[in-house]
Structure 1
Amino acid sequence: MKPFDLPKRGALAANETMPGHVAGGAANDLRSYLQRSVVLRSRALAEASRRSEPIAPVPANGRAKSTLSSIDDVLAHLRSRAAPDAPRAILVMAARTEIDASHEAIRIAREQSADQRLCVLVDLTHGAIGPKLGIRRSPGFAELAAGSAGFDEIVHVDDETPLQVIPAGQAAAKQEAKPERLARIFEALAQVYHFMVLHADRETAFNYQPVLAGRLRTVLAVLASGEGKSRSAEQVSAELAGFACTVMLHEQSTERRWFLRRSA
């Protein structure tokens, strides 16, 4: 089956259009998108070959600690579970409404893109990713899901790395998305990219759970500083069981010792 040959899995209605549908001109658009992705993957490989940063060691037992305070530990755990047949997506979400998990999502996505992988960072939430990377918020994933924008209009490349980025889009557009449409978009993205990092706030993550369950390798729930050893951390782990994947908890540091943009 060719990439994006998705109608065989359940075609959309004849009068329904969406990015990723392979009928007519949309198929040509996606083929062009795939061709450009190959070029960008070559850039990613070249960038990775120039990097000399050490890779964090994999834990001997292949398991993560109950709560990880270091993003390097998170990355090591992801590498230790990189089975060829495993889902190639991770959801980075805020465990509480007041937590901003966008920094962690960006760091993980950039590291994944440097590991000789074509990686995309998809913002599913309030648009926190775009401003931090100097990318306009709209059009983005919301417009893609609503069928009002195509891949060519929403995919950006990070200024600092080969990472591709899909910003959040406008919240009003996201409300029009149907679960079936979202599922087909995630299937399409999984066929193009070696790895996906999805970013969401708590509410959005649980709203997307029916669509994402079974499609994720890991859910990384970001806790506030000092929360890692509290009973609330255990509660968070239990709440995320419905995603049907490995759950990791990351406790934010009181100081973020890395930056997002060199110009910042």
Structure 2
Amino acid sequence: MPLAVFSTSGGERLLGKVFGDRIIGLAEAAPELPRDVKAFLAAGAAARERFHAVRIEDGRPLALSGLCLHAPIPDPEKFLGIGMNYADHSQEAEALGLEKPQSQKWFNKQVSCITGPHDDIVKPVVSDDLDYEVELAVVIGKACRNVAREEARSVIGGYMIVNDVSVRDWQFRSPTVTLGKSFDTHGPTGPWLTLDDEIADPHDLELRTFVNGDLRQQGNTRHLIYDIYDQIAYLSQVMTLKPGDILATGTPAGVGIAFDPPKFLRPGDVVRLEIAGLGQIENRVVAARTAHMEGMS
């Protein structure tokens, strides 16, 4: 059962355990557990065991439909993404004139872009090239450095869905691509954190993107060029990965820029991302001048 951050209307943000279409607050059901996801992950095996022991009878179940879900980790130390990491996406990128990477190609998404699973995506005034990318987000569960590929799964805390929203013209202005990946609201995540031990094989998960109900992307994590364990081993040679760090693992073919003509996002569009076993996130695109910028998740 997933770990979610939720609130009632105007209420404080709480941790909860999801049971189907209901949730119970952990402050009531297991008050000894930490009150945010990063602290929960840092608490290690004891916290996970206590979480798994929580039953729906231990709290007052609330309907998810009446609650607001927030970004599970709004403030990671690091939010990193890997580029062109599915063969089909790499091919469509090459057709647009981008050179195929010869090694893992990582970039930063600034953490200020993170928003919740149902919050609006703001189309910036400065660009019309707004694009979507469905990705499996891997969340690091323990501090680690120089992790062997064979040990990489032991440092994973869990998984989420992330939309690696991209402003393509800003992305292509710089070889680091960071600016085009980091506009405010361009990192929807969620809908919750599914702990690693609840996923049998993270390399066999289907991903899909719908825009206004139209299927745009469909892939499977088995087609990653560099799989999750390769990614962790590679990054941890450079830096210490910390609990709560988010790794966006790549997107399959079907991004808006690859269509002829491109199918970029416009205000009023609704983008739904699904990953098997992890749920779905859905975000509406709004114009910057009408966006409500306060209280973002």
Structure holding more helix per residue: 1
Shared fold per TM-score greater than 0.5? no
TM-score, scaled to structure 1: 0.25
TM-score (norm 2): 0.23
Query: Which structure is higher in strand share?
Result: 2
